[in-house]
Amino acid sequence: MVGTETGLNFLTVGDWTARVWSEDCRESSILWTYSHRTKLTDGAWNPVRFSVMLVTQWDGCLSSWDLLRRRSAPIVTAQLCDEPLLCVRPHEGGLLVACGSSRGTVYLAELSTNLGTADKNDKQLLTHILDRENKRERILESRMREIRLKMRQDRDGGPQALESDATTTDKDLEEATDEYMQTIKELKEQQKAIP
């Protein structure tokens, strides 16, 4: 779990992907990895460098993802064994990681100092990324609710009285709309000023 200004974020592993969820977004995750060829079995946040996710795989690999540096692929993947790794637990110091295999063997891996020690802005930058993705996802969820409502109204034969649902009046959507309208107004004023 990683806490941000907008709430808690959770890491889940399954279905060949790792996903980061926000407690504010209930319909979809805010960040996710690509779909892997092998099953992902477990994941954990590094307790010192908050932007690093550690993920174990069925083929015996341990992957380290740094969300600040690259979200499209892991920073490093190491083959620890030839058997499935089922569990990962980072040490509270951040540099050591214990991985358990399907045969009951525990492997101890040491992360590089780049992945195991925190930068001074690490938590602040990660919080900014997660908050931005959270806001983006809430706007998309709100838009999808509007589209589903419109489709339901069209299917049922016309507009109906809207239910008073607090989720349809999303504050972020209103802010984005106001910001968009303000930008349009400024652009029109700039065009009028050009001779």
Q: What is the pLDDT along the chain (195 residues), one digit of tens a residue?
A: 554 444 688 899 987 899 898 887 777 788 888 888 899 999 999 999 989 999 999 999 999 999 888 888 999 999 999 999 999 999 999 899 999 999 999 999 999 988 888 888 888 888 888 888 888 888 888 888 889 888 888 888 755 544 444 454 567 777 777 877 887 787 777 777 776
> Tens of pLDDT along 43-62?
999 999 989 999 999 999 99
**Does residue 102 share a domain with residue 6?**
yes
Contact 87, 17 (CB under 8 A): no
What residues are paired with 108 via a beta bridge? 98
Q: How far is CA 168 from the centre of its chain?
A: 23
Residues 98 and 142 in one domain: no
Do residues 183 and 164 both lie within one domain? yes
Say what the pLDDT of residue 100 is: 96
Instruction: Based on the fold, state whether residues 82 and 165 are members of the same structural domain.
Output: no
Paired tokens of 125 = 């930058």
Which of 70, 100, 116 represents a domain boundary (last residue)?
116
Q: Are residues 54 and 148 in the same domain?
A: no
**In the prediction, which pLDDT does 121 show?**
85
What integer best gives the mean pLDDT of the chain?
A: 84
Say whether both 90 and 174 belong to one domain.
no
Q: What is the DSSP string of the chain?
A: -EEETTEEEEEEEETTEEEEEETT--SS-SEEPPPPSS-EEEEEE-SSSTTEEEEEETTSEEEEEETTT-SSS-SEEEE--SS-EEEEEE-TTSSEEEEEETTS-EEEEE--HHHHS--TTHHHHHHHHHHHHHHHHHHHHHHHHHHHHHHHHHHTTS--PPP--TTTS-HHHHHHHHHHHHHHHHHHHHHHH--
Query: Residue for token digits 């001074």?
Result: 120
One domain for residues 126 and 112: no
Q: What is the per-residue pLDDT for 30? A: 82
Does residue 141 share a domain with residue 85? no
Do 110 and 152 share a domain, yes or no?
A: no
Domain total for the chain? Answer: 2
Range of the domain at 152: 122-193
